[in-house]
Amino acid sequence: MANVRAAHVRRGSGSHEGLPPRPTCVILTGKRRSPQRVCRAKITITTMQFKFDWFIVLENLRRGIMVTDATLDPPAGPRILYVNRAWLKMTGYGREELSGKTPRILQGRHTDRALLRSLKVKLINREVFHGQTWNYRKNGEPFLMNWYCYAIYGERGKAIYYVAEQEDVTELNALRMRQRLLVNPQDEEAAAFFAVLKEWKAIRKAG
């Protein structure tokens, strides 16, 4: 995935910072041409008007979305700025509980710390992170979270936000791990996976 930048679009004789009210899309028509011939090729300009509310779109995505500020160093950052409804449903938190909080509220005993260090390195190096580890809902229940994380860059090329696309893949992986145990009952990774879930069931039963 390429770095995502805030739009800077040039139109006509002037330039406009941020998203223009009526962005344009240039479509080259005809066969493949050399750069010199492309400059002389006839082009079609298609104007597209975007008239929808991005907040409504984000709130209705099925995948959890979290947006934080660009401060990576604990304990101050990164602070959670926004989460969508899918994220709230996945974690059990309410928006009013997230003020001033960081993504570390999801971490717990079985969270892979080495993976989190890799996440920070990726973001510092302006790369897209992808990984999965155990996280924890508000009630303490572990779930296996698969997620992507990347930066949104401002006009000067500096990260201004981090976006995480997150999903609960516990059930999917449980099915896969059961299949692995059928093939190899001594599969250590599969056994460790179910040990985490068994531990939670014991805690809930004791409580």
DSSP letter at 97? G
* Helix, strand, coil distribution of the chain in percent, nearest 5: 35, 30, 35
Any idea of the CA torsion for 85, 91, 96, 102, to the nearest 10 degrees?
A: -110
Residue 166, class by beta-carbon neighbours within 10 Å (0-12 exposed, 13-18 middle, 19+ buried)?
buried
169-202 pLDDT, tens digit each: 999 999 999 999 999 999 999 999 999 999 999 9
pLDDT one digit per residue (tens) for the chain, 207 residues: 444 444 333 333 333 333 333 333 333 334 444 444 433 434 344 444 556 688 899 999 999 999 999 999 888 889 999 999 999 999 999 999 999 999 999 999 999 999 999 999 999 999 999 999 999 999 999 999 999 999 999 989 999 999 999 999 999 999 999 999 999 999 999 999 999 999 999 999 997
* Cis? peptide before 75, omega within 30° of 0: yes
